[in-house]
């Protein structure tokens, strides 16, 4: 598993505002979208392309286009939905599938309550969106789901992660082609499974308390 932690002052600046508990939902949503677009630039570095010949006004030249099958973007509901617009801005031809997952706040185990994905993901590059990688349970289950359907490669984009979650993912995805792109790697998890210093409950901050 490859882990890439973004090292860019704009990303750290935007994350600082996102972490601030006084940042209201509309600003939180806008920043989430902007951060994803910045992280997507790194996350799509390995997107599969093929050569095409085009005619400029001056001459014929060779460029590239994104290969078929088109990449699949999979936001994990709810909080991952806040990242979708920022991602498809950079990758407008991608298809989008959905996974609904919720973590039991006592056991910290995830359950899947919704799934809308192609049955066959053979040869597909998949981009999973979830702002928080805490224990890693939700992301590990999502990645497993995609590989079971035949995905060739999975890249997850997360705004924040805890070292405990990265360790778990490394163990659970051993031997699979997985890349994790992070806005920041935080210190630890607290006794309730929240990322420290973190930003609190991402879903609630985006969409309100359920």
Q: Quick one: angle between helices 137-148 and 163-172, nearest 10?
A: 30
Active-site pick, 48, 103, 144, 149? 103
For the record, the structure tokens of 180 come out as: 């994790």
CB of 58 to ligand PRP, least distance (A): 49
Interface contacts to ligand PRP, rule CB under 6 A: 76, 78-79, 101-103, 108, 110, 130-139, 165, 193, 201-203
The nearer residue to ligand PRP, 123 or 204, going by C-beta atoms, is 204
The nearer residue to ligand PRP, 47 or 117, going by C-beta atoms, is 117
Indicate if the alpha-carbon torsion angle 155, 11, 19, 81 is positive or negative: negative
Interface contacts to ligand URA, rule CB under 6 A: 132, 134, 194-195, 198, 201-203
To the query of whether residue 61 is one of the catalytic residues in this protein, the response is no
Three-state DSSP class for residue 198: coil
Beta-sheet strands, E only, within 48-198:
49-55, 60-66, 72-77, 95-96, 98-103, 110-116, 125-129, 132-133, 153-161, 178-185, 188-189, 195-196
To the query of whether residue 2 is one of the catalytic residues in this protein, the response is no
To the query of whether residue 120 is one of the catalytic residues in this protein, the response is no
CB of 162 to ligand URA, least distance (A): 8
CB of 128 to ligand URA, least distance (A): 15
> Which residues are annotated as catalytic?
103, 107, 201, 204
């Amino acid at each position: 598993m490859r882990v890439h932690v973004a090292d860019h002052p704009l990303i750290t600046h935007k994350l600082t505002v996102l972490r601030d508990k006084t940042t209201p939902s509309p600003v939180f949503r806008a920043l989430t979208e902007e951060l994803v677009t910045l992280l997507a630039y790194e996350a799509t570095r390995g997107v599969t392309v093929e050569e095409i010949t085009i005619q400029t006004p001056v001459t014929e030249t060779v460029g590239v286009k994104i290969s078929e099958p088109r990449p699949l973007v999979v936001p994990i509901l709810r909080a991952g939905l806040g990242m979708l617009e920022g991602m498809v801005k950079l990758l407008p031809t991608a298809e989008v599938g959905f996974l609904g997952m919720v973590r039991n706040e006592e056991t910290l185990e995830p359950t899947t309550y919704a799934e809308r994905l192609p049955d066959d993901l053979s040869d597909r590059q998949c981009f999973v969106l979830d702002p928080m990688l805490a224990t890693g349970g939700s992301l590990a289950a999502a990645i497993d789901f995609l590989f079971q359907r035949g995905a060739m490669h999975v890249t997850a984009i997360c705004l924040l992660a805890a070292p405990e979650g990265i360790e778990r993912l490394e163990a659970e995805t051993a031997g699979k082609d997985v890349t994790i792109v992070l806005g920041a790697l935080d210190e630890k998890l607290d006794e309730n499974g929240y990322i420290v210093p973190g930003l609190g409950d991402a879903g609630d901050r985006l969409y309100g308390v359920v």
